[in-house]
Structure 1
Amino acid sequence: MILGIDIGSTSTDAVLLDDGRVAATAKVPSASGDPVASFLAAVHAVPAAARARVGQVALGLRAAARAVAARRGLGRVGVLRIGTADAVRPLYGWPADLRETVLAGVAEVAGGGGLGPGDTVPLDRDAVARFGDRLAGQADAFAVSAVFAPADGSQEREAAEILRARTDVPVLLSGEVGPLGLLHRENATVLDAALSSLVDGIARRVEEALPGLGLAPGAAVFVTRHDGTLMTLDYLRRQPGLSLGSGPACTLRGAGLLAGTEDAVVADIGARRARVGTLSGGYPQVSGTTERIGGVPVNLRFPDLITVDAAAHRDLAEAADRMRPGAGRFPLVLVGGGADAVPDLPGFDVVRPAHGAVAGAFGAAASPVGGHHERIVRPGAVPTEAARAEVLDLARAGAVRAGADPKRLRTVLEPDLPVPYLPGAVLIRARAAGPPLPL
């Protein structure tokens, strides 16, 4: 059996799947400010006999997003930029209160790569060492970002070795976080670093509680991520920001799975607000613009959503119409606790699936483990089959590191994209997904 749990602000939902079918559901009050207590309450709401057959738990964890929004539980970060960008300093555009909460210190040092070997500037190793010495004992984590790191991350790794020799705190690298654009990638890395202590504490408490929950021997815990797939607790520790936006992503996936469709407009109706998104090919349609987390612009691939007043049915209909693709007639799937209060909207085939009130938990339980990789092809160059094959291989490797069974992975090469800030360059993208490794 698989147990899916979605921790909301007021209630925590649980869905028990037996060979893909809903065997039981539960809803318990969430423990304010304590996601682990909410998780434990939801697990104990499942009968003991059924718990003994649970080999996988998929946890919808929204603690990271709430911590950023509330400015609570965040660590102090040393921000190191390799390769200067004099026009815009690190953390430019951050809300002042969040910057004050997070920033332990900042340094810009000489270095940085490029799209070719001749573009590389040597790393100022002494400046990196001085920065590490200055913030030793003051920073809870370091965030390292280098110009063109997704194309060549060697200098980020070199700087990380220097910092780790002087401190015993996490060092996170931007080349593992996002695509080429420096500022938004740097922002996402700083958020990861600020969240690292929080998610490590949550993961440790969950791991410590597992032996006493009465689950099947060797039961594994996975966490939902922002693209509608899963990752292990260790992978969450490496990139806490992947859990940002995971709640809506799993609700969208769960709604489509419950309705028996891979393509739909989905409205999650809560007590006060409704969030509307699109499911395409079984996965959330992602926003094509920069997202903001707690006021910080980042380049993470979050679901594209419109939020409206749940009681304003005309606004809901307009939002659903805006999210519907121009071609094709997607059904409108209504889920969430307030779905029954929404009338059928004209122009839509409305579906209210069974168990829609716990769509997020169902989506967590039924989602695969995923991985994603991107690569920039230099301006004027034509992407080769070898380059595409390597991107696919790296997406597979990412899924395996996240906990997927390498023998049952499916890979998809996404359409190439132009790089707006690098005319003539092309972005190759691939994703991989599959079930977790068996017990």
Structure 2
Amino acid sequence: MKAGVDVGPTNTDAALLDDAGAVLSTVKVASVPGDPVASVTAALARLAAPPPAQVAVGLHGAAAAVDGRRGLCRVAVLRVGGHEAEAVRPLFGWPDDLRRAVDAGSAIVDGGGGLDREDWTPLDRDAVARFAASVASTAQAVAITGLFSPLDGEQEQEAAEIVRAELGDLPIALSADLGTLGLLERENATVLDAALSGFATGVAERLAAALAPVTAVHVTRGDGTLMSLEHLARHPGLSLGSGPASMLRGAGVLTGLGDAVVADVGARRIRVGVLAGGFPEEAVSGARIGGVPVGLRIPELIRVARPFEPAELAEAVDRMQPGAGRLPLVVVGGGAHAVPDGLHPEHATTAGAIGAATSPVGGQYERVVRLPDRADLPAAMEAVVEQARASAVRAGADPLHVRILEAADTPLGYLPGPFVRLRARAAGPPARL
């Protein structure tokens, strides 16, 4: 058997499923304020079943930590890019209270500086070392972003080695691991990744102690897949947006639909999103966490406050419809009875837990490459595909059953020269060990 647990601010839902995905039982318990691990163990205890072989947990705690400005590490922010990267400083546009909670100092150092390797300037190693020494008394984590790391993340790795030599074993987040293109959004996501490192490490250790070794434990991430506890500790920012993602996945599982508009009706708000091909439709632009624009893959959502006007909800549903073709509306969540329209599947009140339990472990990889000859595209794409497979395995997927969900190439006409953005997504069932 396998279980899914969805930890919300008010209630924690849990669902027990057999290996074929049939729902055996569900429960809803009050969440333990400020303690997601205690909420998980309380919900699993109420299922009154032998320990399941696998548990997938939707924490929501990372987003709550950012929104509440609590439990965050102070982050030293290093940007590699020289004068080309100085137009907008790190942490620009952050809400003042969040910046005060996170900022341990920032610097921009020389390095990179061109689209071709022959145009690059070497990393200013001395400047990196001086910056690391200057934040030694304040930094609890470090975020490193290279202007051209989507092309090559080598200088981020080089800077990380220098920082580690100066500061020891502090958490270091690298923007190349996130893979998105926009500098500020990528840097913001990297800073949040570093800021959440203390929260994630504590939760991962407590979950492992509470549930392992009997149970293999995974946590949800914002693209509708899972990752291991070890991967959570390395990249906690990937869990941002995971609550809506699990809800969308659960709505699809309960109805058998791969494509639908989904309304998640809670006590204080309704979130409307789209399920496309069995996974959440991602926010193309404008994704924000805690008031900060981020380059993270999280679901595209429209929020409607409760109590709601039916016309306002209908407008939100219409806005999420993909063009002329109408997708069915699926209504889930604890307040689903308040919306008479649409499909109301059985177990809709615990859709998030069911979505977590049935999600695969995922991995993604993205790079910008120069391709003077389009005949070289298959080989370049195959390298990206293999990196996506490896990313899924590192996140906890069974290496024998990883499959490619997407492999896409996009020419970048706004860059001088034949540059192409390559992206691949992979997923597979959780490894049982």
Q: Same fold (TM over 0.5)?
A: yes
1:96 CA drift (Å): 1.4
Partner in structure 2 of residue 263 of structure 1: 259
In the alignment, is the contact (CA less than 8 A) between 2:27 and 2:43 conserved in 1? Answer: yes
- Whether 1:321 and 2:315 are equivalent positions in the alignment is no
Select between 219-228 and 103-112 the one with higher mean Cα deviation: 103-112
CA displacement 1:92-134 (0-9 Å, x = unmatched): 1111111111111111111125432112111111111111122
CA displacement 1:302-331 (0-9 Å, x = unmatched): 111111134322211111111111243311
- Whether 1:99 and 2:95 are equivalent positions in the alignment is no
Identity %: 60
Partner in structure 1 of residue 415 of structure 2: 422
2-side partners of 1:397 and 1:354: how far apart?
A: 37
Partner in structure 2 of residue 226 of structure 1: 222
2-side partners of 1:15 and 1:29: how far apart?
A: 15
Q: 1:418 to 1:295 in 2, by over 3 A?
A: farther
CA displacement 1:58-109 (0-9 Å, x = unmatched): 0001111111111111111111111121211111111111111111111111
- Whether 1:61 and 2:54 are equivalent positions in the alignment is no
1:378 pairs with one of 349, 370, 383: 370
Partner in structure 1 of residue 278 of structure 2: 282
Q: 1:421 to 1:66 in 2, by over 3 A?
A: farther
Partner in structure 2 of residue 398 of structure 1: 391
**Once superposed, what is the RMSD of the aligned Cα atoms?**
1.6
Select between 321-330 and 417-426 the one with higher mean Cα deviation: 417-426
1:45 CA drift (Å): 1.2
CA displacement 1:241-272 (0-9 Å, x = unmatched): 11000000010010011011101110111122
In the alignment, is the contact (CA less than 8 A) between 1:178 and 1:300 conserved in 2? Answer: no
Unaligned runs of 5+ in 2: none
In the alignment, is the contact (CA less than 8 A) between 2:274 and 2:280 conserved in 1? Answer: yes
TM-score, length-normalised on structure 2? 0.95
1:242 pairs with one of 234, 238, 243: 238
* Number of aligned residue pairs: 426
1-side partners of 2:61 and 2:144: how far apart?
A: 24
- Whether 1:312 and 2:304 are equivalent positions in the alignment is no
1:416 CA drift (Å): 2.9
The correspondence of residues 17-416 of structure 1 with structure 2, limited to 5 A, is 17-19=17-19, 20-47=21-48, 50-52=49-51, 54-84=52-82, 85-112=85-112, 114-167=114-167, 168-211=169-212, 218-310=214-306, 311-344=308-341, 350-378=342-370, 382=374, 384-416=377-409
TM-score, length-normalised on structure 1? 0.93
CA displacement 1:190-239 (0-9 Å, x = unmatched): 1111110111111111122225xxxxx54211010000000001111111
1-side partners of 2:10 and 2:413: how far apart?
A: 41
In the alignment, is the contact (CA less than 8 A) between 2:272 and 2:317 conserved in 1? Answer: yes
In the alignment, is the contact (CA less than 8 A) between 2:54 and 2:432 conserved in 1? Answer: no
SS in 2 for 1:228: coil
1-side partners of 2:406 and 2:9: how far apart?
A: 36
1-side partners of 2:347 and 2:35: how far apart?
A: 26
2:429 pairs with one of 426, 430, 435: 435
2-side partners of 1:27 and 1:98: how far apart?
A: 33
2-side partners of 1:165 and 1:184: how far apart?
A: 28
Q: 1:357 to 1:33 in 2, by over 3 A?
A: same
2-side partners of 1:422 and 1:276: how far apart?
A: 35
2-side partners of 1:271 and 1:381: how far apart?
A: 55
Unaligned runs of 5+ in 1: 212-216, 345-349
SS in 1 for 2:196: helix
1:161 CA drift (Å): 0.8
In the alignment, is the contact (CA less than 8 A) between 2:128 and 2:163 conserved in 1? Answer: yes
1:379 CA drift (Å): 7.6
SS in 1 for 2:176: helix
In the alignment, is the contact (CA less than 8 A) between 1:60 and 1:361 conserved in 2? Answer: yes
1:352 CA drift (Å): 0.7
In the alignment, is the contact (CA less than 8 A) between 1:177 and 1:239 conserved in 2? Answer: no
Partner in structure 2 of residue 8 of structure 1: 8
